Structure 1
Amino acid sequence: MFQRLIFAGRRHRGGLVRQRAFLVRGLLMIWCCLALAVGSAQAQVSSVVHATLATRPTPLRAGESAVLYVRIHVAPGYHIQSAHPYDHFLVATRAVPLPVPGISFGPVRYPKGKDIPASTAITALGKLSVYEGAVKIKIPLRLAANVQTRQSLRVHLITQACDANACFMPATLRLHLVVHIVSAGHKATRAAGATTAGALPAGHPPATYSVLGGKSHTAVWLLVVFALLGGMILNVMPCVLPVIPLKVLSLMNQAHGDKRIAMRHGLFFGLGMVSLFVVLGGVIGLYQWATGGTFLYGSQFQNPVFMLAIGLVLVAFGLSTLGLWTIQPPASVNRLQAPGTGYVASFSTGLLATILATPCSAPFLGSVLAWALLQPSWVVVLFFALIGVGMAAPYVVLAAMPDWIAWVPRAGRWSDILKNTLGFVILAVAVFIFSSLPGRGEILAAINLSLLVGVVCWVWGQMVTSNTPPDRAVAIRGGAVGLALLLGIAVWHWYAPAVKARKLPAGLVPGRFSDDQPIAANRWENFSNERLHAALHADHPVMVDFTASWCINCRAVKAFVLDSPAVRRAAAHAGMVLLSADLTQANPPAQSLLLKLGGRSIPFLAIFSPALPYHPRILRDLYTIDDVLKAVHAAADKK
């Protein structure tokens, strides 16, 4: 049935129209399913924390004292930080009453927190002081004798919620209660709209808590839009860019031929993208469910073996683009596609584009990942699928509307030159990945293994021709692959001792810090918690750049934004300490702080002020010089 839907079709325009209609109906069906799932996700987020205001006694009387209660209900499986958390980077729960004419507020009385064990990813102490379930905060108040009879009481509830794995971004709930005040000794009934203890205003739901970027609530439909836009923007990120023109070139060539085949190629290319995003989301969700940990997007590149494997795949792909070799799918796979159509190649190219996208975090994606990676596993999978749909959308549209690119000339020498140029660009990306390996041993291993991959590709493509007997072709290619594997294992074992002996720089190792170490003058230092605390204690604002050598976006932001003359001058003028939190390899102290600040991807920038040392300003994904200057000036003004 699947083959009939994909490959069947008549050779006239009516068949193409029906295929487009089928595509539109399929996309609408997918969208409806996503909308239902997202609606469910939004209900889940909105039920994390509820808060209401109530007064005792009721009614309030002029000239007398009363108590304003902040009643909080935390959903099962979650908690909020207490008023006195053990870790200062976790935001304490605070109730701040706003001034009201004729009413004076006394010191806020908070309940005692409950100690619970916690993951070391959240706090190095291994425990937290939290509030769970029902929580009651008391705010004493005194009413003047001449207070107006109708008043609006407003309280800002600042809090940070966590589950068993990680913490949300801090949020401020804005609570509101209208009360009517009677004169002393006057008996009156409660006015409509006022709230007594345990009651809610009619027709007004309790304040809800959903955290994203410090806002008290962000609609999940907006996160869906961000996921789709972020996926689309991934196509122009430096990590993915070398692969994309190859697919566009293929679509341009197919636009001059059978339009139905062009549509199918675009669908298979997009399906490859979406499939790998779904698999990635499933693996992340399973990992978080099984280990109780929190996944940092792109952290797979902290593994040198993974980086080496990706680099070698790019070497093989680049050599294939240069025409050194081609690979034919097995006969069993060929039977799934029409002769000479190459749908498996389109699908594989979509997979490769997605792999290259994983170290990048495009605009909008940082906020989406910060929220999605704290949700149940099925929500993680759903939002990764949305990112894949957004990334694949331009190619599906181009495939469905081939006339949009039919004006491009047919393939010729210009397209061969472009293809070869892109082949060299892909090899350059492989070199970049190898240069990001953490040690000399890994880099030398990558060079030697790349030579082996090149030899295998040459044997595969040049030693076997169309006239070579099948048995001999299998023997030649199989022998080359087998010999390369043996030599590759030998190369890796040769360099393994050097890899194991290598250690992190002293600045990244906890405990290698002296309180007497002077503050560096406008230069980047390795991050440590001790260095951060010492700088803030010495009344210096601090900029912490979470980065990695394998993150091209991080390098671009640092080169063109953070190291720009304007930012450097502003930082020097503010006496700012610059700390680089390098996540090229596993760096528990830096990753712990990143998770506490609500980051799940890089680039990520935190700017701390001595006046508010535990409430930094954050910038994520791609940001501008003006964004950084505003944050630097704000931190300097509060010194």
Structure 2
Amino acid sequence: MLSNPSGRARRLPQFPNIPPRAWSAYTHCTMVCGIRIFAALIALSSFSLITVDPVRCLLAASPPDSDRVTVEAHLDRTALQPGQQAVIAVVIDIRPGFHAQSHKPLDPDLVPLTISMDDAPGVTVLAPQYPPGEIHEYPLLGKVSVYNGRVVVYQPIRLSDAAQTGRLRLTGAVSFQLCDDKSCYPPQTAAFALETTIIGTDQPISKNRPELFAGFDPSAVTELRPATTPARPPGAAAAVQVPPIDWTSDPDPVTAEEFLSQQLRPRWSYGLAMALAFVAGLLFNIMPCVLPVIPLKAIGFYEIAQHSRLKSLAFGGVFSLGLISVFAVLAVLILAGHLTWGQQFSKPWFVWGIVVILLAMSLGLFGLFEVQLPAAVYSITPRHDTFTGNFLFGILTAILATPCTAPLLPGVLAFALTQPPLAGALLVLMVGVGMAFPYFLLSALPELARRFPRSGPWPGVFKQVMGFLVLGTAVYFGAGRLIHGNGFYWAIVPVGLAAAVFLIWRVRRLTSTVRATTIACIIAVVLAGGPLWLAIHMTGILRPRSGEELAWRPFTVADFIEARRQGRVVLVKFTANWCSTCQYVEGTVFRDQTVLRRLQEAGVVAFKADLTAANPPADALLRRLNPAGGIPLTALYGRGLARPVKIESVYDSATLLSVIDRIQKMGRG
């Protein structure tokens, strides 16, 4: 019997073939699991507070009006002379009520204000001088280092001794992120230009606008590497200079399928979109994090069906409602523009909350603890045989599926955003219905679980093995937050090895039959070998080194704009450690030597937009490419492309190579 603080003994449900002691252990673990799962409901209800996240930056749905910021450039003298230095004052006026992040934000995830100069003949660009930021604290944004009102950045330059006399046009751009006291807008750029004349050293010059240069410190001038175009790989197209780029005004992207077929994807009918949404939901059930849930629920539904088939069906319906409720919340937040798909996993508090819940579930499945709970807790008894327990378990199952996009989901979300709010919400809900369908089917046909062990010591062994799978999921999410790059997969290997050893040890203690031992050994090989193979495959530790490596750059707005300004082919890969399908693309496509060699030959500039933690600049670009978000996603830009090309969800090397080849042909055309 359960320990009850009220002092009254509680009778255990009497189901056939289930010894009281086994049932007691089962109810203890499921009760604890349900209580922990309730925390997931609290986390889910907090999604609406995403606008006040730990990085204190909400990206507004549209860029600010251009009249909120004006940029001008002035030279400190009336003319330039060969061999002499000069200073450009880049004057940025920010309208009252708004501010820009300073050059050195307090939070590294925020976008610093930077300036860049375009190449000019005979001109060497020196290190710019930025003013210090002002520290302000806003109720919703917290403490930030910002620029208000008029901001003057000094850009020193030097002319070569061989500079030719005549007219000279100097151009550049300012990259910044504008905010008000409640939210921040997507990063943007503003171009500036000035006209001057190069004259002989024997001709007089005079000062220009001296009041603007009162804050310039000549002693702090240091030399920068000249802003030259990077060397071109053999066979790559020559870089072409283009005007400064405002990526927030890019045209809508085209999918890889549309780009390669040279025709737009046929517009879906609403009925077709609903059908595809249902299939996308079904596919969520093969996500690695969700797989351990299916056998657990199969056993639960079967045990209840021994007592009442109708009750099993009712519990299956409640479980499905819990699962669908998550998609209902996501539908509201995504369609309202407050959240992108999977974005909640970039919040540390959310990920660690999920890790705690999963750890508690695994400990309960191991049967490692017995608990005394307050009397009020026993009134809800969240477990497989309660409505509350099934509803909360459904919530957790849906949350575990959301880090990545399943096949078909990006198209469904994109279509939903073009529909009236109610119609779009119903499409997202249909994804939840599709995901819930197999569980409802299990509750209606519990005979599918007949082969699962239900009596004797074997149910305990099965639950403990499932505990290792849940523990592995917790380690996956936790290690992904702590370990940078895909090396975190090695943290899962010890869990698999422990599960394998435990299974063989338990089976040998229970029986010595050859059949049971053989089956246990086969399962143990899968438990130990699966994580080991995954870690080796994802990290490429045994892959022969051929010298072909891709130099990934961390995504920054300034570097992204500069690479596009030079006319290079630009690739942006959106990824995160908590996204298993992203890691699959990383370990297959971007470790394919043919792909790496082709990207190098084409002179592709590759950016990694890592969304493991909050990354406002990358998130802003992701929203621009797909307002609903969702990763994995790879975007490509290039000379001759009227629209960016995006490759959504899981894809193979052939798709990426085909897109690169076509972009190059268009660039040479």
Instruction: Please give the TM-score of this superposition, normalised by the length of structure 1.
Output: 0.50
- Counting only pairs closer than 5 Å after superposition, residues 34-433 of structure 1 correspond to structure 2 as 121=185, 124=188, 169=252, 215=265, 217-254=267-304, 258-285=308-335, 288=336, 293-325=337-369, 341-373=385-417, 377-406=421-450, 410-433=454-477
Measured at CA, do residues 328 and 560 of structure 1 come closer, stay the same or move farther in structure 2, by a change above 3 Å?
A: farther
Q: Which residue of 1 aligns with 2:645?
A: 617
CA distance, structure 1, for counterparts of residue 389 and residue 303 of structure 2: 15
Q: Secondary structure at the match of 1:579?
A: strand
> CA offset at residue 331 of structure 1?
7.2
Q: Secondary structure at the match of 2:395?
A: helix
Letter in 2 for 1:247: K
CA distance, structure 2, for counterparts of residue 331 and residue 390 of structure 1: 38
Q: Secondary structure at the match of 1:307?
A: helix
Question: Does the CA contact (< 8 Å) of 2:187 and 2:617 recur in 1?
Answer: no
Measured at CA, do residues 333 and 415 of structure 1 come closer, stay the same or move farther in structure 2, by a change above 3 Å?
A: same
Q: Which residue of 2 aligns with 1:607?
A: 636
* CA deviation string 1:160-213 (max 9, x = no partner): xxxxx99994589xxxxxxxxxxxxxxxxxxxxxxxxxxxxxxxxxxxxxxxx9
CA distance, structure 1, for counterparts of residue 373 and residue 660 of structure 2: 55
Q: Secondary structure at the match of 1:295?
A: coil
Q: Secondary structure at the match of 1:236?
A: coil
> CA offset at residue 370 of structure 1?
2.6
Letter in 2 for 1:390: G
* CA deviation string 1:211-231 (max 9, x = no partner): xx9646322222212221111
Q: Which residue of 1 aligns with 2:96?
A: none
> CA offset at residue 628 of structure 1?
2.0
CA distance, structure 2, for counterparts of residue 346 and residue 557 of structure 1: 34
1:561 aligns with 2:589: yes
> CA offset at residue 542 of structure 1?
2.3
Gaps of 5+ in 2: 1-60, 63-69, 71-178, 192-247, 256-262, 485-490, 492-547
Measured at CA, do residues 316 and 168 of structure 1 come closer, stay the same or move farther in structure 2, by a change above 3 Å?
A: farther
> CA offset at residue 420 of structure 1?
1.1
CA distance, structure 1, for counterparts of residue 624 and residue 361 of structure 2: 39
For residue 582 of structure 1, the aligned residue among 600, 610, 624 is 610
Q: Which residue of 1 aligns with 2:569?
A: 541
Q: Percent identity?
A: 33
CA distance, structure 2, for counterparts of residue 360 and residue 582 of structure 1: 14
1:594 aligns with 2:622: yes
- For the aligned residue pairs, the C-alpha RMSD in angstroms reads 4.1
> CA offset at residue 618 of structure 1?
1.3
Out of 252-261 and 325-334, give the one that drifted further: 325-334
Letter in 1 for 2:394: G
Letter in 1 for 2:293: V
> CA offset at residue 312 of structure 1?
0.8
Question: Does the CA contact (< 8 Å) of 1:122 and 1:166 recur in 2?
Answer: no
CA distance, structure 2, for counterparts of residue 377 and residue 434 of structure 1: 36
CA distance, structure 2, for counterparts of residue 530 and residue 358 of structure 1: 31
CA distance, structure 2, for counterparts of residue 326 and residue 364 of structure 1: 44
CA distance, structure 1, for counterparts of residue 429 and residue 605 of structure 2: 40
Q: Secondary structure at the match of 2:281?
A: helix
Q: Secondary structure at the match of 1:385?
A: helix
Question: Does the CA contact (< 8 Å) of 1:398 and 1:404 recur in 2?
Answer: yes
CA distance, structure 2, for counterparts of residue 358 and residue 170 of structure 1: 24
> CA offset at residue 350 of structure 1?
1.0
> CA offset at residue 311 of structure 1?
1.0
CA distance, structure 2, for counterparts of residue 388 and residue 397 of structure 1: 14
CA distance, structure 1, for counterparts of residue 466 and residue 332 of structure 2: 32
Question: Does the CA contact (< 8 Å) of 2:321 and 2:391 recur in 1?
Answer: yes
Question: Does the CA contact (< 8 Å) of 2:328 and 2:429 recur in 1?
Answer: yes
CA distance, structure 1, for counterparts of residue 609 and residue 384 of structure 2: 50
CA distance, structure 2, for counterparts of residue 326 and residue 543 of structure 1: 53
CA distance, structure 2, for counterparts of residue 390 and residue 246 of structure 1: 19
CA distance, structure 1, for counterparts of residue 466 and residue 594 of structure 2: 35
Q: Secondary structure at the match of 2:188?
A: coil
CA distance, structure 2, for counterparts of residue 393 and residue 536 of structure 1: 46
- Counting only pairs closer than 5 Å after superposition, residues 443-522 of structure 1 correspond to structure 2 as 522=550
Letter in 2 for 1:232: L
User: Size of the alignment, in residue pairs?
Assistant: 366
Question: Does the CA contact (< 8 Å) of 2:345 and 2:578 recur in 1?
Answer: yes
Q: Secondary structure at the match of 2:341?
A: coil
Q: Secondary structure at the match of 1:571?
A: helix
Measured at CA, do residues 242 and 214 of structure 1 come closer, stay the same or move farther in structure 2, by a change above 3 Å?
A: farther
> CA offset at residue 571 of structure 1?
1.9
CA distance, structure 2, for counterparts of residue 376 and residue 227 of structure 1: 17
Larger relative contact order (Cα-Cα within 8 Å, sequence gap ≥ 6): 2
Question: Does the CA contact (< 8 Å) of 1:122 and 1:595 recur in 2?
Answer: no
> CA offset at residue 365 of structure 1?
0.9
Letter in 1 for 2:385: T
> CA offset at residue 631 of structure 1?
1.7
* CA deviation string 1:544-569 (max 9, x = no partner): 11111222221122112222233223
1:570 aligns with 2:620: no
Gaps of 5+ in 1: 1-76, 79-85, 87-116, 128-164, 173-212, 441-446, 448-519
CA distance, structure 2, for counterparts of residue 332 and residue 350 of structure 1: 22
> CA offset at residue 413 of structure 1?
4.2
> CA offset at residue 431 of structure 1?
1.8
Measured at CA, do residues 588 and 228 of structure 1 come closer, stay the same or move farther in structure 2, by a change above 3 Å?
A: same
Measured at CA, do residues 572 and 257 of structure 1 come closer, stay the same or move farther in structure 2, by a change above 3 Å?
A: farther
CA distance, structure 2, for counterparts of residue 272 and residue 582 of structure 1: 31
Out of 252-261 and 421-430, give the one that drifted further: 252-261
Measured at CA, do residues 243 and 549 of structure 1 come closer, stay the same or move farther in structure 2, by a change above 3 Å?
A: same
Question: Does the CA contact (< 8 Å) of 2:278 and 2:435 recur in 1?
Answer: yes
Question: Does the CA contact (< 8 Å) of 1:121 and 1:595 recur in 2?
Answer: no
* CA deviation string 1:261-306 (max 9, x = no partner): 3322322221210122223333445xx3xxxx55211111221111
Question: Does the CA contact (< 8 Å) of 2:300 and 2:385 recur in 1?
Answer: no
Q: Which residue of 2 aligns with 1:630?
A: 658
Letter in 1 for 2:356: L
